[in-house]
């Protein structure tokens, strides 16, 4: 397993950034490999909610389902899932720090 960590400074409030990065409708705007993403479960969204997404990696289309496994108002959101073609779990953590 490999880990990737990306950090960026954004001139917006933590609340605005957190709301943006935890909304799957915005994934295609800020994730270069994302080709589509949407909630698979009804709202309100939090722990137990699921998200379907499609990414392109090394020329291959990868469909995945993520489940939100941790959510605190700020600064942390964690989802875990598996690409549909192989059973290797993926952890996605979105943190907003001052």
pTM of the predicted structure, to 2 decimals: 0.67
Q: pLDDT, tens digit, for every residue of 6-44? A: 677 778 887 788 788 888 999 999 888 899 999 999 988
94 vs 22, residue with greater confidence:
22
**For the chain, domain boundaries:** 14-95
C-alpha 23 chain-centroid distance: 8
Nearest Cα neighbor of 51 from 69, 75, 33 is 69
């Amino acid at each position: 397993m490999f880990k990737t960590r990306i950090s960026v400074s954004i001139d917006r409030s933590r609340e605005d950034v957190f709301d943006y990065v935890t909304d799957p409708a915005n994934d295609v705007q800020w994730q270069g490999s994302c080709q589509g993403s949407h909630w698979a479960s009804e709202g309100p969204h939090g722990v137990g909610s699921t998200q379907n997404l499609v990414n392109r990696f090394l020329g291959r289309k990868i469909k995945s389902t993520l489940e939100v496994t941790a959510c605190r108002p700020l600064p942390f959101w964690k989802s875990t899932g598996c690409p549909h073609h192989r059973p290797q779990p993926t952890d996605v953590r979105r943190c907003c720090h001052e």
